[in-house]
Structure 1
């Protein structure tokens, strides 16, 4: 296998895996929400179209904001995704019990589910847009470095897409096997960690753009124990924001996101409890 083919396969696998995990977790968490498939599909299409626009604007994005365009673009997309995932978890903290209790008749009994579906479009669309745009720019760099044949890159890309989609689907299928009484707890925790991991990545991009101080770089280094480029490292990076060499500011963003989302969930639960007294 040529180096370019292997490099392309790894890059595409990582990006597709991240998008597939996000889509899988959100899809599993809303499996009983009416109309969610249409919104998931719409989000996927919107993300792909956005990635196509990014591909056509590669040179412009690369030069934007004095060479830090991609970092700012990623930070912006991730920030919106964190907000959407936070809202999803807060929404589910008040509606999850209803969804579980009425799993078979949710379409008729929980009309509020329709408002949740708009969040699906945004989260899925942003996930596909971010990973797709990163893939485009990474592959653009490989091609620009020379010595890469289009055939090898296409073959590597196909391998990466297939492998990433399979691993993402396996995680999704595993979530669906969880008993209903534990299902919403499990998916809520996963979405919470997913949002915190994204917040950590926002900090990383802003540090790279010299907008935020790193505070300490790195806080620790677990590359020898669990390399971030290994399959396990990639999965953990996608699921919980694992970083083998995180900066101090990343930890601050991670903990802050966890605290804010959990506080929001608890507040909604208290409000719901008070309204039922």
Structure 2
């Protein structure tokens, strides 16, 4: 539940900030709100279509190499999370500046109002499509069931919309960059935990037979199935009996994402 809440909160907040920038840039322009609303609706409809397609794919492979399917979903989710983190570290400011330029161009009349629907729709669709994939990855790595995942998505959705609205209205004193710094680290740790879980599925499928023995056992101190263990497992990928393969996957993912994000961020500084 917590992992899906973090993912959805991050994605919804990004979309809300983009919408907020466009709204602020076109404030007072007759008809701009309707076009922005049309873009939001279009993006949500597109995301719903992608979600239904992903659900159909999951049902089609149910019972046929489920471990391999789960490992594949997790692998794709890890790659997408890593790419998303690295891309945002270098293009986040550029994207915000572009949204402001589009809004200004519409206000001065050099671009039609319909452009607002397009840029907002594409932004919502992009964040929605990423959310679908990431939540599928989370559901493959968690044992809480669909109800917990849905509840987490609802919490993340509500929190993202609320915080985005407060930031737009200037009621929240926390700078957006600090919020994204915290969520970036949470998402990076989630990705590392997913990579370790993918190794678990591959081992269960018999595709990995090296470094599968537990290196230590802390289940006597903090069992992974306890409340605290589940919380840490969700947030940082905690395992009470980790294997060498799981630790290699975890560490390599963590180093790759943080290293690439810092390198690309310095190049665009």
Question: TM-score, structure 1 length as denominator?
Answer: 0.64
1:173-184 equivalence runs, <5 A: 178-184=174-180
Q: CA separation in 2, counterparts of 1:38 and 1:231?
A: 40
The answer to whether the 8 Å contact 1:206/1:212 transfers is yes
1:235 to 221, 231, 234: 231
Distance 1:266 1:208, change over 3 A: same
Task: Tell me the CA shift for residue 269 of structure 1.
Answer: 1.9
Task: Tell me the CA shift for residue 80 of structure 1.
Answer: 1.0
1:5-24 equivalence runs, <5 A: 16-24=1-9
For structure 1, the 5+ residue unaligned runs are 1-15, 140-156
Q: Which position in structure 2 is the counterpart of 1:94?
A: 90
The answer to whether the 8 Å contact 1:47/1:124 transfers is no
Q: Which position in structure 2 is the counterpart of 1:13?
A: none
1:250 to 241, 246, 249: 246
Q: Which position in structure 2 is the counterpart of 1:125?
A: 132
CA RMSD of aligned residues (A): 4.0
Distance 1:222 1:266, change over 3 A: same
Number of matched pairs: 229
The answer to whether the 8 Å contact 1:203/1:250 transfers is yes
Distance 1:105 1:47, change over 3 A: same
Question: TM-score, structure 2 length as denominator?
Answer: 0.65
2:51 aligned with 1:78? no
2:12 to 22, 27, 30: 27
Task: Tell me the CA shift for residue 257 of structure 1.
Answer: 0.9
Structure 1 residues 24-57: Cα deviation after superposition (integer angstroms, max 9, x where no partner) = 23333554234788657744653355335534x4
Q: CA separation in 2, counterparts of 1:213 and 1:129?
A: 26
Q: CA separation in 2, counterparts of 1:223 and 1:43?
A: 40
Q: CA separation in 2, counterparts of 1:234 and 1:36?
A: 35
The more displaced of 239-248 and 22-31 is 22-31
Q: CA separation in 1, counterparts of 2:222 and 2:4?
A: 22
Q: Which position in structure 2 is the counterpart of 1:11?
A: none
